[in-house]
Amino acid sequence: MSHDDKLVYMANQIGKFFASQGADKAADGVATHLRKFWDPSMRRAIVAQLEAGQAEGLEPFARAAVVKIAGEMAAKAG
């Protein structure tokens, strides 16, 4: 499993955990987890994967969280 595949796998596992909280809260829960516990380089890597169209395996809650993180990173950058 490549590093990129592992990031997608991990994000999906986090999404599965938060799915029990319902659709309204799951993506926010995943995003919060990524902010708190993932190294910034890991967040940058998964956002880069998404932006390059190489994160097809992301499940809906994980994808929504990564999109949210990407927006935050873009806003912070300028």
Contact 60, 44 (CB under 8 A): no
pLDDT band at 23 (very low <50, low <70, confident <90, very high): confident
Question: Which residue intervals of 38-59 are DSSP H helices?
Answer: 40-51
Range of the domain at 60: 3-77
- Which of 1 and 62 is assigned the larger pLDDT? 62
CB 55 within 8 A of CB 6: no
pLDDT in tens, 36-76: 999 999 999 999 999 999 988 999 999 999 999 999 999 99
Q: How many structural domains compose the chain?
A: 1
